Amino acid sequence: MYDVWKNALAEIEQQISAANFSTWFQDTSLINTENGEIIIGVKNTFYVKQLRNRYLDIITVALKNNNLEVKTVDFEVQTNTKSRIQPREVFKDSALKEHVKKIRNTNAIKSQSNHETGLNSKYTLDNFVVGSNNDLAVSAARSIIDAPGDRYNPFFLYGGPGLGKTHLVQAIGNELLKKNPDLKIFYTPIAHFYSDFIDAVKLGKGKEFNLKFRKLDVLIIDDFQFIVGKEKSQEEFFNIFNDLYQLNKQIIVTSDRLPSQIKSVDERLASRLTWSGAFDLQLPKFEDKCAILRAKAELMGAEIEPEAIEYIAENVNTNIRDLEGEFSTILLMSEVRGLTPLELIENGSISVNKTSKLRPTSAKQIVEKVAKYYNLTTKELQSKSRVYNIKNARQVAMFILSTELSLSTNKIANEVGVKDHSTVVHGIRKIRNDLKLDFTLRDQIEEIKEKIYG
């Protein structure tokens, strides 16, 4: 039975997203096949409901394709099933309690005399969960803390909202101050830099403004994308940047996109900001989200079942801010209703769905909207044409059908007019990879979603 189920799982894996497969099928087993009465072992009753409601047809077909007689398919909870979520090293055993204790006992970082840092002491590396979505950026951050102004200078960090950019760069500032309280560090959003610069010019204090920044050891600028259209502020920042850089002072900048993709940013400034590379924060994967929620629960001293954590992680696919928001909501409702988080989920008292605003009515609607957005007819999008704009629109449609409706690759293939589901897998993977650096594509997909849900 093991080989049969292994083969069936391999087939199922090709038809659903990696996150869904990892969530719902990783710890399943085939218990019984006698007389066509199939019984599949699962972790708990919550999984029974999900597999029965969402994947029964796919499971049935996969079993039949492996030469099994299938009359009925049922699910049985196996108490000896091991949890598939293994906490990261920082969260193991007694080390987790010590880690949380360390965070809770961290003293607020004091600003050095006569110098406001702008830093929030709650942002530290101790409470920043490291995962596959941010490990490179964190590694660079640690190098900066060890030797500011050296290897990663400037340090340019970019990514979508709610992914932890502000947390990480402020953590760098706080850690540097912890090592050397005499460092002159200043954190400011670019909007504040702009407004303070305008006020200084109006008051005839432009030189004082410039001098204040030139005396810094570390300058942290947040949300750089909002400098669009502010030519004088760009020029001032460009001059400050050059002076600090020449003195080997550390410069840290965050943005929601690369400098070259920000309209009207001076090319010289855009080039300088990425002299030492650019590091991005990506959407956390399922395992990363579980680690984040588990750390948050431990920090809050909250009781929440692993299955409830996995449910939240599976259903929040926007950003870390929304993930933590849904987590806090469930904990609050749990306290108010007198039920555990898992009981709230299982009895339908709460529903988590942070993938987009509302589910579209049909796959057909998505295909039509994508085609219209790219000035194509539905027939053109569904054709076999390899012309770039048609092929690109087809792949975008594949991606949106997958992320918004969680359709199998076979169903997506039917909707976009391709025969081979492997073409769909390739198309989805290409768009997902392109989204890491192509902010124009990100904007296009967001605009398409607005049209779908509008």
Across the range 422-447, mean pLDDT stands at: 84
Q: How far is CA 163 from CA 85, 123, 175, 197, 212, in A?
A: 22, 14, 20, 29, 31
pLDDT band at 137 (very low <50, low <70, confident <90, very high): very high
Nearest one of 309, 322, 237 to 272, comparing CA atoms = 237
pLDDT at 1: 63
Across the range 127-140, mean pLDDT stands at: 89
H-assigned helices in 93-230: 93-104, 135-146, 165-179, 190-202, 206-214
pLDDT band at 355 (very low <50, low <70, confident <90, very high): low
User: Greater confidence, 113 or 73?
Assistant: 73
Report, in angstroms and rounded to the nearest whole number, the Rg of the chain calculated over CA atoms: 26
pLDDT at 217: 96
Which of 78-82, 110-114, 398-402, 432-436 is predicted most confidently?
A: 398-402
Lowest mean pLDDT among 37-51, 331-345, 417-431: 37-51
Instruction: Give tens-digit pLDDT for 306-349.
Output: 889 988 988 887 788 888 888 988 988 888 888 898 888 887 77
In this predicted structure, the answer to whether residue 443 has a pLDDT above a threshold of 90 is no
When the candidates are 2.102.10.10, 1.20.1050.10, 3.30.300.180, 3.40.50.300, the CATH number that belongs to 2-77 is 3.30.300.180
Percentage of the chain beyond pLDDT 70 is: 87
Instruction: Give tens-digit pLDDT for 429-440.
Output: 999 888 877 777
Lowest mean pLDDT among 17-26, 186-195, 272-281, 430-439: 17-26
Q: How far is CA 449 from CA 319, 357, 360, 396, 400, in A?
A: 17, 9, 9, 11, 8
Q: Is the peptide bond before 154 cis (omega within 30 degrees of 0)?
A: yes
- Coil, strand, or helix at residue 152? coil
User: Greater confidence, 178 or 103?
Assistant: 178
Where are the CATH 3.40.50.300 domain residues in the chain?
A: 89-280
Residue 421: count of CB within 10 angstroms of its CB: 17
Please state, in angstroms and rounded to a whole number, the distance separating the CA atoms of residues 246 and 237: 14
In this predicted structure, the answer to whether residue 229 has a pLDDT above a threshold of 90 is no
Across the range 40-49, mean pLDDT stands at: 76
pLDDT at 179: 93
pLDDT at 79: 55
Please report, for the chain, how many H helices and E strands are present, in that order.
21, 8
Please state, in angstroms and rounded to a whole number, the distance separating the CA atoms of residues 200 and 5: 70
The torsion region of residue 417 among left (phi > 0), alpha (psi -120 to 50) and beta comes to: left
In this predicted structure, the answer to whether residue 18 has a pLDDT above a threshold of 80 is no
User: Greater confidence, 106 or 152?
Assistant: 152
Percentage of the chain beyond pLDDT 90 is: 36
Where are the CATH 1.10.1750.10 domain residues in the chain?
A: 363-453
In this predicted structure, the answer to whether residue 84 has a pLDDT above a threshold of 80 is no
Which secondary-structure segment (H or E) carries 424? helix 421-434
Please state, in angstroms and rounded to a whole number, the distance separating the CA atoms of residues 266 and 423: 40
* Fold type of domain 363-453: Chromosomal Replication Initiator Protein Dnaa; Chain: A; (1.10.1750)
**Strand duo 218-222 + 185-189: pairing:** parallel
When the candidates are 3.40.50.300, 3.30.365.10, 3.40.309.10, 3.20.20.30, the CATH number that belongs to 89-280 is 3.40.50.300
User: Greater confidence, 322 or 446?
Assistant: 322
Mean pLDDT of the chain: 83
Widest Cα–Cα separation across the chain: 89
- Which amino acid, residue 249? K
Instruction: Give tens-digit pLDDT for 287-312.
Output: 889 989 998 888 788 889 988 998 89
pLDDT at 164: 92
Residue 375: count of CB within 10 angstroms of its CB: 9
User: Greater confidence, 265 or 85?
Assistant: 265
Cβ 238 vs Cβ 269: under 8 Å: yes
In this predicted structure, the answer to whether residue 6 has a pLDDT above a threshold of 50 is yes
**Phi, psi dihedrals of residue 186, rounded to the nearest 5°:** -140, 125
Across the range 359-368, mean pLDDT stands at: 80
Instruction: Give tens-digit pLDDT for 71-80.
Output: 999 988 775 4
Residue 309 contacts by C-beta under 8 Å, 6 or more apart in sequence?
Answer: 85, 290, 293, 294, 297
